[in-house]
Amino acid sequence: MKKYSFYLVTLLGSVLFLSGCGDQNGNASSNGALASNNAEKVYVAPGEHDEFYAFMSGGYSGNVTVYGLPSGRMFKEIPVFSQFPTNGYGYSEETKPMLETSFGFIPNDDSHHPDISQTNGELDGRWLFINGNNTPRIARIDLKTFETAEIIEVPNSAGNHSSSYITENSEYVVAGTRFSVPIPQRDMPIKDYKGNFKGALSFISVAPETGHMDIKFQLIMPGFNYDLSHPGRGKSHGWFFFTTYNTEEANSLLEVNASQNDKDFIAAVNWKKIEEYVENGGGTMVPANYTHNLYSDETHSATSTMKKEVLTVDPTKVPGAVFFMPTPKSPHGVDVNPTGDYIIGNGKLSADLTVFSFDKMIAAIDGKKYDGEAYGLPILKFEDVLAGQVKSGGLGPLHTEFDGKGNAYTTFFISSEVVKWKVGTWEVIDRKPTFYSVGHCMIPGGNSAKPFGKYLISLNKITKDRYLPTGPELEHSAQLYDITGDKMELIYDFPTHGEPHYAAAIPASILAPKSQKIYKLAENEHPFATKSVSDARVVRDGNVVHVYMAMIRSHFTPDNIEGIKVGDKVYFHITNHEQDFDVPHGFMMIGATNSGLLIMPGQTKTTVWEPKQEGVWPFYCTDFCSALHQEMQGYVRVSPASSNIDLSWSLGE
């Protein structure tokens, strides 16, 4: 007992010491009492629930992870663009079509910017959208099931980076290309980039009832790099803003050659005007090749459809639709404050933030006060549209979020800090270090008209010394700040999986009540479902064998199968008959070269097994489902290819 209290004293002592010297601003606000108060702020007692769901992009893992705030506990990893052997996503016959593209089956991607659907500018929690950066795709995740429901490929694009941001009534999710490319793609010298490559900004409509996505039009822009984007809201609803870099249109050693211009552009796109143009028959339908993959909760299966054309719009044909606002210096983030009045450009090679006024922009456009043009598109005069500059004193501003109380928070990659400043006066109120090299930050609802300004998360790139080392590879680090007071307080940090570029969060009270608990077996329309155990059977069609199998605690029906031959292709179509929350069953077959399955109550999933060796081979349930989980197993007898043993199957006597 004595020993423990000694440790405790030592521990408390070091907490006091660390928090004292860890305050790099020299503020006296942080002391031991506050540090312990901070522990309480993030402590979610056993059995208690978090206040927010946070959806973190998984970067090169191609997925989305779901965290609770403030606890930082990870609840789920949602596979989106990558195969996921945990549950068979991208391996099962039902989900393979989700990863089809015009390039073929692509089991990986780089997922960057999640955004939650909105109604009237407020989070409605129906869907989460996220972009695949490498092979341009946009995915829609259903927030009832937390499963990927739809993926649409984006043609004429490369590096789908300025995505996936959503307009205030979820009219459009935007997919802007980072890399400009020849449109249409063709064999040509790379050095002829300038003037020949183009950048496509795709406006993907979202059907209000179903969420189904469709590319309404692609704006074919000059060959810059389009980095990030943001929709207008409130008075600026109807506009979309995109940052550009490499307005030099360099094609080699971009770190130097794309950093020559003092100012790049923020492209302001009046999408309502273009929508009107398109609806009146404007635009050019061009041949294209891209997939549209849709998952059904009824058939528990995805279908992949190839689309053959896309509507393109030449912005010079729609006067008054696209303008450039010169922005220093290679801006990364472009963010619109909750009221829609200001557009903040974060020049990542600059120390200052550039804030544009929407009203001034409209006035300049109305007054036709241009400062020349680029490829026929008018450039507005910097001074005419400037609302103010935040003289931050930081270095490398990347991205700004808002708390809904008139404050903005900007991350600085190079100086590793978050800077809080006041919208309107542009004065810096507070700054706190991050550990280290922060990319985006996120405030729940920060991307909407109604932020929930309680927490801010910084999504840091460099982790060293924050956690126990795990060899050369470290997970990235997120840090949680309490932003309810005048001064931000760093209250917690936790590792994040993959490379979380950006995140979106929503109050749990919006999502939790409508979270789906099971799939109803009665509504299962999978063509190979076994909805009644009396339908369990094995059917041969040449050397293809279909096993219609049911599973419930704690057995498979059937559990013994004979008459399978070497060289057969055996499809196990397995239906989980449970109708109880949180009772999945797993399936793994020895020697299967595909993947295991994790099958939810009421769901059917299929995996393929091609037996190569004679013998009697077991399969079993991989999810500890009941006291008799270990007994949940069965055998398949595999005979020589030449044998004439009839198919048979059984369960019990």
Partner 1 sequence: MKKASILMIIGSLCLLGLFKFPLWNIMLGAPQYPDPLGMNIHITGIQGVSEFDLQNIDGLNHYIGMKTIPKADEMWEFKAFPIVIISMSVLGVLLGLLGFVGKVDYRYFLGWFILMSILGVMGMYDFNVWLTDYGSNLDPHAIIKVTNEDGTPMTYKPPLFGYKKLLNFNVSSMPALGAWAMFLGMSLTVVAFLVGWKSKRSPSS
Q: Which residues bind partner 1 (CB under 8 A)?
A: 518, 552-553, 578-581, 626-628
Q: Least CB distance from residue 428 to Cu ion, whole Å?
A: 57
Q: Which of residues 169-198 bind Cu ion (CB under 5 A)?
A: none
Interatomic CA distance for residues 204 and 152, integer angstroms = 9
- Residue 348 binding target from Cu ion, partner 1, none, CB below 5 to 8 Å by type: none
Q: Which stretch binds Cu ion (CB under 5 A): 280-288, 374-382, 497-505, 618-626?
A: 618-626
6's enclosing H/E stretch is: helix 2-22
Q: For residue 634, what are its two tokens? A: 């069965």
Q: Which stretch binds Cu ion (CB under 5 A): 87-95, 257-265, 388-396, 626-634?
A: 626-634
Give whichever of 491 and 625 is closer to Cu ion, judged by the CB atom.
625
Decide: 204 and 180 in contact? Cβ < 8 Å. no
Stated as kind and residue range, the H or E segment containing 10 is helix 2-22
Strand, helix or coil for residue 407 = strand
Residue 580's binding partner among Cu ion, partner 1, none (Cβ under 5 to 8 angstroms by kind) is partner 1
Task: Name residue 98's amino acid.
Answer: M
Residues 549-588 that bind Cu ion (CB under 5 A): 585
Rounded least distance, CB 539 to Cu ion, Å: 24
Identity of the residue, 272 or 553, whose beta carbon is nearer to partner 1 in the bound complex:
553
Quote the CA–CA distance of 356 and 342 in Å, as a whole number: 6
Q: Which is nearer to partner 1, 204 or 621 (CB)?
A: 621
Nearest residue (CB) to partner 1, 276 versus 580: 580
Q: Pseudo-torsion of CA 224, 228, 233, 237, nearest 10°? A: 30
585 binds, among Cu ion, partner 1, none (CB under 5 to 8 A by kind): Cu ion
The item of partner 1, Cu ion, none sharing an interface with residue 45, based on CB under 5 to 8 Å by kind, is none
Q: 75 or 179: whose CB is closer to partner 1?
A: 75
Instruction: Choose among partner 1, Cu ion, none what residue 627 binds, the Cβ cut-off being 5 to 8 Å by kind.
Output: partner 1
Position among 310, 505, 552, 632 found at the interface with Cu ion (CB under 5 A): 632
Q: Tokens representing 167?
A: 């307009």
Instruction: Output the smallest distance, CB 510 to partner 1, in A.
Output: 20
Q: Which does 21 bind (CB under 5 to 8 A by kind): partner 1, Cu ion, none?
A: none
323, 359, 512, 516, 518 from 600: Cα distances, Å: 50, 52, 18, 11, 7
In the list Cu ion, partner 1, none, the entry touching 374 (Cβ below 5 to 8 angstroms by class) is none
259 or 554, CB closer to Cu ion? 554
Q: Applying CB under 5 A, which of residues 141, 625, 636, 638 lies at the interface with Cu ion?
A: 625
Q: How far is the CB of 551 from Cu ion (least distance, A)?
A: 6
Query: Which of Cu ion, partner 1, none does residue 144 bind to, with CB < 5 to 8 Å depending on kind?
Result: none
Residues 39 to 78 in contact with Cu ion, rule: CB under 5 A:
none
Q: What is d(CA 374, CA 222) in angstroms, rounded to the nearest whole number?
A: 8
Q: Which of 407, 409, 412, 408 is nearest to 394 (CA)?
A: 412
Cβ-contact 151, 98 below 8 angstroms: yes
Partner interacting with residue 573 (select from Cu ion, partner 1, none; CB below 5-8 Å by kind)? none
Query: Is the bond preceding residue 70 a cis peptide, omega within 30 degrees?
Result: yes
Q: How far is the CB of 588 from partner 1 (least distance, A)?
A: 23
Edge to edge, the sheet with strand 239-245 lists 225-231, 239-245, 264-270, 322-327, 377-380, 370-374
Cα separation values, 32 from 40, 43, 277, 444, Å: 13, 17, 62, 28
Rg of the chain on CA atoms, in Å: 27
Answer whether 79's CB lies under 8 Å from 98's CB.
no
66's contact among partner 1, Cu ion, none, with CB below 5 to 8 A by partner kind, is none
Quick count: other Cβ atoms within 10 Å of Cβ 653? 3
Residue 499, binding choice from partner 1, Cu ion, none, Cβ under 5 to 8 Å by partner class: none
- Distance between CA atoms of 467 and 27, rounded to whole angstroms? 25
Cα 148-149-155 angle, rounded to 5 deg = 90
Strand, coil or helix: what is 5?
Answer: helix
In angstroms, give the least distance from the CB of 299 to Cu ion.
23
In SS3 terms, 68-118 reads as EECCCCEEEEEECCCCECCCCECCCCCCHHHHEECCEECCCCCECCCEEEE
List interacting residues with Cu ion (CB under 5 A): 585, 621, 625, 632
